[in-house]
């Protein structure tokens, strides 16, 4: 193993699940999320010797967001086929309800709004960091986040477990 590879393997093991989840929140597609996280980790590995002592997670997160945004700008054409994806074992009803609710809510947002909401509230980044990662002004982050949150409040989509509450 080359010098630093063991460090990268440990970093990838620790960070990959959260990166996939964040990409899923931004794309709404599990397969695209896995591809985006894998691409971010590959690009991080290529730069590992430069970034490992600084903030590798921040670098990887930025690569992930840039990759997802690039795909919004240049979508890849996919063609459906007859193969069915693997089915999860057990009864995933609660998880499915929560996931559908989250996707429905996030689906009301534009790609930029989704990226800002995920970076700001899922990653809990300060507005200045979100602005740097998306290459926009702090004012844009604030106004876009405000509009996005207002859209989410007015979306008319109720959270799981609240269906029929207050009626």
DSSP 24-80: HHHHS-HHHHHHHHHHHHHHHHHTHHHHTTS-HHHHHHHHHHHHHHHHHHSPPP---
Instruction: Look at the chain and report how many structural domains it folds into.
Output: 2
- Name the residue range of residue 129's domain: 91-161
Check which CATH number belongs to the domain holding 133 and give it: 1.10.10.10
Same-domain pairing of 71 and 32: yes
Q: In this predicted structure, what is the pLDDT of residue 163?
A: 44
* More confident call, 7 vs 86: 7
pLDDT, one tens digit per residue, over 72-108 is 776 666 677 777 767 666 556 777 777 787 788 888 8
Same domain, 67 and 111: no
- Of the candidates 47, 51, 44, the residue with the CA atom closest to the CA atom of residue 16: 44
pLDDT tens digits, 119-137: 998 889 999 999 999 999 9
Instruction: Report the interhelical angle of 30-46 vs 56-73 (nearest 10°).
Output: 130
Q: Are residues 112 and 55 in the same domain?
A: no
Q: What is the pLDDT of residues 28-61, one digit of tens each?
A: 889 999 999 999 999 999 999 888 888 899 999 9
Both 98 and 132 in one domain: the answer is yes
Name the one residue in this structure whose structure tokens are 């009626």. Answer: 167
Establish if 128 belongs to a structural domain: yes
pLDDT for 159 beyond 50: yes
Does residue 154 share a domain with residue 95? yes
Distance separating alpha carbons of residues 100 and 81, to the nearest angstrom: 23
Q: How many CB atoms lie within 10 A of CB 113?
A: 18
Q: Are residues 56 and 105 in the same domain?
A: no
* Domain co-membership, 3 together with 54: yes
């Amino acid at each position: 193993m080359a010098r630093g590879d063991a460090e990268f393997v440990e970093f990838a093991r620790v960070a990959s699940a959260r990166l996939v989840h964040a990409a899923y929140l931004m794309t709404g597609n599990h397969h695209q999320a896995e591809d985006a996280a894998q691409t971010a980790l590959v690009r991080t590995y290529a730069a590992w010797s430069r970034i490992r002592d600084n903030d590798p997670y921040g670098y990887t997160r930025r690569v992930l967001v840039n990759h997802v945004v690039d795909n919004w700008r240049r979508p890849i054409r996919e063609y459906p086929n007859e193969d069915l994806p693997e089915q999860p074992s057990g009864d995933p009803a609660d998880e499915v309800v929560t996931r559908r609710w989250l996707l429905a809510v996030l689906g009301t947002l534009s790609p930029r709004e989704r990226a800002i909401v995920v970076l700001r509230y899922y990653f809990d980044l300060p507005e200045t960091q979100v602005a740097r990662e998306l290459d926009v002004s702090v004012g844009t982050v604030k106004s876009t986040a405000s509009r996005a949150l207002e859209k989410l409040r007015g979306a008319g989509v109720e959270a799981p477990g609240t269906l029929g509450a207050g009626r």
